[in-house]
Amino acid sequence: MLPSSLITTFNIYWLNLKTMDGTLAKQLWRVLENPSSLVARIYKARYFPHHSFWDAPESIAPSYSWRSIIASKELVLKGMRWQVGAGSSIHTWSDPWIPRAPSFIPYRRGLNVELDSRVKDFITPFNWDIQYLNRVFTPEDVEAILSISLSDRPAVDRCIWHYDPKVQFWKEVWHANIPASAKVCIWKACQAILPTKDRLLHRHVNIADLSCTLCSDALETTTHLCFECPFTKALIEEADPLIHQVCLSPNVQFPSFKGWLQGCFASLSKPSFHKLLFLVWAVWKERNNRTWREKSSTVGDVCFQANAWLHDFQFHQVKKGTAQVSRIATWKPPSAGWLKVNFDGAFSKQTHMGGVVVIIRDSEGSCMGGMFQHIENVYSPEQIEAVAGRIAVRMVQSKNLAPISFETDSLNLACFVNQSSGSITSTYGRL
């Protein structure tokens, strides 16, 4: 069961710090991201000279701006976590650092743990101490920790905003492996334009009974029907207890269906998120069957039908082999006198084992060198591509090769390297 604080995390999921009401959280985030700035140094010298910001003691007669920043601390804490560098500044059991919403704090596997330990205690030189992790943390947290890439050079710990405002929530909805009609239903629900009874009343449609079609216990709204209704909760629990545990908690209310769904997107795997979307659509279909066809089904029947529909759709969902002329990327040599490094990485989701390949060629296309290396504990394409790039750079540095250019098939990595520097939440931030 998730804590009630989950609601706040879900509500701020889409909040970009640049667009928050007021500039308090924005100003606080600037202080955290730029501790060497003048305003940050003034605040530290006056209010917490011997502590971190998060441990800053109460001050006598603080300024209005400082009181305002302190007031926004709790809000920022909902989406802030530490990005591990050396791990010396991060308290293992009290600071948010695990890339797992909503708390980002690891679970204790037992009572025999050192409460004052730091994350650095679990790091050997630039690598995680896997045996130590397995003794102290739960298997779920071990997997989350191993997905954190460590730098191969001394790096400071820093605060980052976990929820990337550029995350493609809608892209995931529209590319979900579910029928198109289900996607449209989800979109309408997020926009609060499903023709529920409250919406019809708002459109001046005369309705005698405004109670929920499925439970008759509350006003039929999009929020109630899609995730608050007892019928919906029972359906999700029967279809997938894990989704129910992650996304639904008793006695916790959310202001909108969209906010709730965005939080679910942040916490669920892709297959589970797609299944949740489909279940919401199944709820809407059952509501319509009762409204227009006077045909009702039990939770068990709807669950069975939904699982069958989803399995059948995904089983037959194959890409149509249309006759298209595909553009094949060809290798282009560098300018005369230059060298070009091509690198790539791949991994297995089942074993978390990967491999990196690097090859160096001159302007004539002749191979000047290369290497292949096995990589353990790989949890994402982003991670293995970044590791491949780091290995390529280190190889070039060790050989003192110049001038040289690098080429990769990872658009995300190329865009990050070419953009202006800044702290981000992805693997690239440390590698």
CATH placement of domain 339-429: 3.30.420.10
With 80 as the cut, is the pLDDT of residue 408 above it?
yes
Which pLDDT score, from 0 to 100, does residue 6 have?
A: 41
List pLDDT tens digits, range 179-225.
Answer: 999 999 999 999 989 999 999 999 999 988 999 999 999 999 999 99
The answer to whether 98 touches 105, Cβ cutoff 8 Å, is: yes
Distances in whole angstroms, Cα of residue 111 to Cα of each of 90, 97, 108, 248: 20, 20, 7, 28
* 12 — pLDDT class (breaks 50, 70, 90): very low
Which pLDDT score, from 0 to 100, does residue 223 have?
A: 92
Which pLDDT score, from 0 to 100, does residue 429 have?
A: 59
Distances in whole angstroms, Cα of residue 79 to Cα of each of 11, 25, 73, 221: 10, 11, 11, 29
Which pLDDT score, from 0 to 100, does residue 335 have?
A: 92
Number of residues assigned to the chain: 431
* 116 — pLDDT class (breaks 50, 70, 90): confident
With 90 as the cut, is the pLDDT of residue 406 above it?
yes
Which residue spans of the chain are classified as CATH 3.30.420.10?
A: 339-429
Which pLDDT score, from 0 to 100, does residue 10 have?
A: 40
CA distance 415 to 18: 22
The SS3 assignment for 227 reads: helix
* 8 — pLDDT class (breaks 50, 70, 90): very low
* 167 — pLDDT class (breaks 50, 70, 90): low
CA distance 120 to 124: 8
DSSP letters spanning 29-97 = HHHHH-TTSHHHHHHHHHH-TTS-GGGPPP-SS--HHHHHHHHTHHHHHTTEEEEPSSSTT-BTTTS--
Enter the tokens of residue 371: 């290497």
List pLDDT tens digits, range 248-306.
Answer: 866 555 678 988 888 788 778 888 899 999 999 999 999 999 999 999 999 999 999 99
CA distance 11 to 263: 8
Rg of the chain over Cα atoms, rounded to whole angstroms, equals 26
The answer to whether 107 touches 137, Cβ cutoff 8 Å, is: yes
Give how far the C-alpha of residue 171 lies from the chain's centroid of Cα atoms, to the nearest Å: 14
